[in-house]
Structure 1
């Protein structure tokens, strides 16, 4: 007895569709779930959120967008190499970064180093000003986080996504 050609064709179509759907999910997996191995924010999985970009939001930015030279020196050259940070200031908040002190709206909130753990010089953004309407200031939760303390405010257009812990 020979298999029914219509049934065989249906099976082939279903298999091709299943592989296509699996490929689409795999290609977009980093757009839905993110794993953070860095201690600058809580280690673990994060899921994309449709929450607005406000103070307290957890966001990602591409490493090469915010600190291109430093990212290249650290081999962060892939488009998926990103930093996950918390928004600590938005438009019209006053940010002052001079020397080692980070001051937000007149309150010292953190300090920064001049070299990283390997002894390499860190970028040193230094300004005192209110953030523009399209800017945010990002910081990690650890003292040695590489964030806006070093690269300065980030345009909202460079925010890749908003995330929440899973």
Structure 2
């Protein structure tokens, strides 16, 4: 006697579409970030400026006060220590550091005074108070102040916890990648 075979319906696993979607996102996101990086775009994940997608716009003139720039920090002991402390993220700049997004607040020849806050040519810079300690209670050493040298810029971010020239001093303008232009950002 032949017994007809009865096929059972396939067993559906309740999380399969979710896992497939998650795997797709996990694969696509690094590819998109990589493509954006090489296409003149950067993803900002730090609170120093709004979070999101930014574009690097070629700067065909010397940097000026008020310019919001992408800049690769120099490979100095201060920057290496900042990277070890977690102030700087990994990225494509020399030394494996991500470009900074900061506002130029002083250029060559301008006097910067650093005390409880920052003054440029005797004028106070808003939102420039200094932290004595970082988020893990480690001491922060401020820049001592002085005249910004030729071909250097002094950088600032309005974000109170920003690691900027208040601590590391002026840095070479040669590291400027271009102006920072918001594309799709969110300021929490």
User: TM-score by structure 2 length?
Assistant: 0.64
Task: Report how far residue 90 of structure 1 moved.
Answer: 0.9
Partner of 1:62: 72
* Structure exhibiting the larger radius of gyration computed from Cα positions: 2
Partner of 2:113: 96
CA distance in 2, matches of 1:60, 1:68: 19
RMSD: 2.4
Map Cα deviations across residues 88-133 of structure 1 (whole Å, 9 max, x no partner).
11112211113x2211110221211111112122232112x22122
Partner of 1:4: none
Q: Which runs of 5+ in 1 are unaligned?
A: 1-24
* Contact kept? 2:109, 2:147, Cα under 8 Å: yes
- Pairing partner for 1:48 from 35, 38, 56: 56
Tell me the SS of whatever aligns to 1:70.
helix
Partner of 1:125: 143
* Contact kept? 1:94, 1:104, Cα under 8 Å: yes
User: TM-score by structure 1 length?
Assistant: 0.72
- Pairing partner for 1:81 from 98, 119, 130: 98
Q: Which runs of 5+ in 2 are unaligned?
A: 1-31, 184-188
Q: How many residues end up aligned between the 2 structures?
A: 140
Task: Report how far residue 152 of structure 1 moved.
Answer: 0.4
Is residue 108 of structure 1 aligned with residue 124 of structure 2? yes
CA distance in 2, matches of 1:92, 1:118: 35
Larger helix proportion, structure 1 or 2? 1
Map Cα deviations across residues 39-64 of structure 1 (whole Å, 9 max, x no partner).
21122221111234222222223356
* Contact kept? 1:137, 1:154, Cα under 8 Å: yes
- Pairing partner for 2:163 from 146, 151, 158: 146
Task: Report how far residue 28 of structure 1 moved.
Answer: 6.1
Mark the CA change 1:123 to 1:161 in structure 2 (over 3 Å): closer, same or farther.
farther
